[in-house]
Amino acid sequence: MLTPQSIDIEQDTSGWWALYTRHQHEKAVAEMLSAKGFEVFLPLYESIRRWKDRSKMLALPLFPCYVFVRGGLNRRLQVVSTPGIHMILSRGERIAIIPEAEIQAIQRAVEGPFRVEPHPFLKCGELVRVIRGSLEGVEGVLVRKKNLYRLVLSVDMMAQSVAVEIDATDVEPVMARGAAVFVINQVTGPVRFGESSLCSGRQITSI
C-alpha cells in the first residue's frame, strides 16, 4: 500500500491510475473526487436485481471497489484523504499507471449500444480487433457462449476483465507473422482463426 510520503513524485503524473475503495463506496468516492476537480472514470453496467416482491434495474460498478483517476498526482493528498478510499493501486513504490488504450476501450464499451458486464479475468485467448461500429479499432479476446460472441477487455494491472456483446463478423484477428488467414462464412460466421492467440495453442475461447 502506498502512503502519500512513499509515492515517487518523479513519475509521470498525466496518466490514469486506480483507487481501491471500500465496499460499495465507488460512487461516493467518484462524486467527491469530481467535486474536488479531478477527472474521474467510474464505469457502470446495468443489472436487474430481483427480490420476492419486486425487481429493480441497478447501475453497478464494472470493477467493484475501483475508481479511475486521470492525472493529479501532485494533488494526491486530496485524493488519499477522501473518505472511502482504501489504497492506491501500485507497483512497489510507484503508482501503477493504467495504459490509455485499456481505459479508452472500457470507455467506448460502456458508451456503446451493446451490453457490457463483468467477466472473469482472461489473459489468454484469440486476440482480435474490431473493424467496424462503435468499437472500431478496439482490441480484445473473442469468447463464445453458445451462439453469442463477446469481446473481453482487460485491465492487466488489476487482473480484471469485462465483456461486451459483439457480432463476430465485425472483428478480425490481430495477425502474427506467418499466421493463418481468418475465414468468414456468411452463413455460419467465423469458422477459424489462425495463430493470433495470446497464448500458444489457444483457439476461440468458449464459456
pLDDT digits (tens, 9 = 90+) for 140-187: 999 998 889 999 999 999 999 999 999 999 999 997 434 443 433 333
Distance set, CA 159 to CA 53, 57, 70, 164, 190 (Å): 37, 27, 19, 17, 28
181 shares a domain with 108: yes
66 shares a domain with 123: no
- 4 assigned to some structural domain: no
Provide the 8-state DSSP code for 182: P
92 shares a domain with 107: no
Look up the pTM and report it: 0.80
**Which triple of cell numbers denotes residue 133?**
461500429
**Which triple of cell numbers denotes residue 140?**
480484445
- 6 assigned to some structural domain: no
- 8 assigned to some structural domain: no
Q: Report pLDDT digits (tens) over 105-132.
A: 999 999 999 899 999 999 888 899 999 9
49 shares a domain with 63: yes
Quick one: which H or E segment has residue 95?
strand 94-95
The C-alpha atoms of residue 169 and residue 193 are separated, in whole angstroms, by 12
